[in-house]
Amino acid sequence: MNPESLFWKVAHGELPRPNAAALLGWKFIKYDEQNSKVYIEFDASTELTNPMGNIQGGRLSAMQDNCMGPSVYANLSATQIAVTIEAKTQFFRPASPGRILGWGQVEHATRKICFTTGQLTNEAHEVLAIATAIYQIHNLR
């Protein structure tokens, strides 16, 4: 964990949430340092729904990215960024507007690349979607 990282500044309210995170209703819950795992909650509004009234799949993929990305950022320096270079989401059931729980975890990391997994559930703890992503680490210029 690096308390100087951009992620921790957002999580502690020192920096504003990115616009995409605010749109998704992103809220930091906790960080499990031993497992490099971040827990996030989303307040999914009706503005995120498709014509059937469910949260649109692309928005769920964005939620996954907003769980897995912070698991990477939690350990970066303030002069580093993580860029998603590959992501895959598998959907298991429709998601309704309201509270969605998520987590993201770094499974393997080198100095330049991180492999992550993530999961979203509803309030009944039914799995909505799982995901994997690869992030490339860059130094800010």
pLDDT of 141 reads 76
Query: Mean pLDDT by 10-residue block, N- to C-terminus, for the chain (141 residues)?
Result: 78 88 94 94 96 96 96 91 96 97 97 97 97 95 76
Lay out the sheet containing 127-139: strands in order across.
26-32, 37-44, 98-109, 113-121, 127-139, 80-91
> Can you say whether residue 33 is alpha, beta or left, with left for phi > 0 and alpha for psi between -120 and 50 degrees?
alpha
| Structure tokens that stand for 134 in this block | 């690869």
The pTM of this model reads 0.92
